[in-house]
Every structure is written in structure tokens, then in C-alpha cells.
Amino acid sequence: MIKLLRIDHRLLHGQVAFSWSKQLGTDCILLACDTLLNDKLRMSAIKMAKPSGVKVVAKTVDDAVAAIKSGVTDKYKLFIVVESVEDADRLARALDIKEINLGGTKPTDDRHVISTAVYVSDNDEKILKDLMDDGFDVFTQMVPSDKRVNTKDLLK
């Protein structure tokens, strides 16, 4: 069962590993990222951030979709984390995941801030608006104790 899909460019860190996992009662975190598996440094950091008692699996976005569709993840309370709006769009549409937590995106020259630690490009905004127009619930919330904010209210 998919508990939540979260966008967070850091993938696995304290907020995700502990706050969200505990709040959601998850027993498996699936990191769906096309570049992670080939990045030994990031994989090492992720292994160190893994909470005890929670399985952490890294897959490409396509492999994550295939695994979920195959039913191999059905036995888990699954928390899926992607690093970009584009990856969330691909995954949410492929699996019909109607709720997306916009948790944190990296600041770059082509992005502007819409909330604490949330930076979006014009393309990100278009994707997010399209998702919301298509019935997906996209909300911004850094940690479970923060107020949940409808992302539509943050976009221009």
C-alpha cells in the first residue's frame, strides 16, 4: 500500500527517514531516482540515513513503476520519495497516486522560491498546475507537524 509520494531533492535524510516514516507508519521507503544508483557517494549517505526497522530500496523511476505494478511491493506500507517534480509527475500518473507531498526542491538559477525550501522552475509550475487540474492533490509540507498547504495557493 502506498502511504505517500514525496518530492524531496535530498531523497533520504532526517525529516524523511524519521519524521515522515514514523508519522506514516511505513516499513519501506522507495527512492525512485534515475541517477541515484550510479552515484556511490549518495548511496553511501543514504545507507547511513536509513532508519532502523525500515527497508530502503533505490530504483529508477521506470523500475519503481514496474515493481509496484507487478505487486511485489503490495506487502509493504510504502513511502515513495522522488527528487524532482518531473519524476513525481511520471510516477503519479503511471500509478494513479492522487496525493503528492512537495517537500523540498533545490534552489537553482532558473527556480524561484514558493515556500520554505521549495523552489520551482516555470516548467515545474506548469507540471504542478497540470497535475492539480487533473485531480491530483499536491500539497506542501516539510514535516508532519507543519501545516499542510495546498500548492495551488503558492503558485503564481
Strand bridging mode 55-59 / 78-82? unpaired
pTM: 0.95
**pLDDT tens per residue, range 48-97:** 888 889 999 999 999 999 999 999 999 999 999 999 999 999 999 999 99
Strand bridging mode 2-8 / 78-82? parallel
Q: Is the dihedral of CA 60, 62, 68, 71 positive or negative?
A: negative
Can you tell me the distance from the alpha carbon of 101 to that of 119, in angstroms, rounded to the nearest whole number? 14
CATH number, span 2-153: 3.40.35.10
**Phi and psi torsions of 119, nearest 5°:** -120, 135
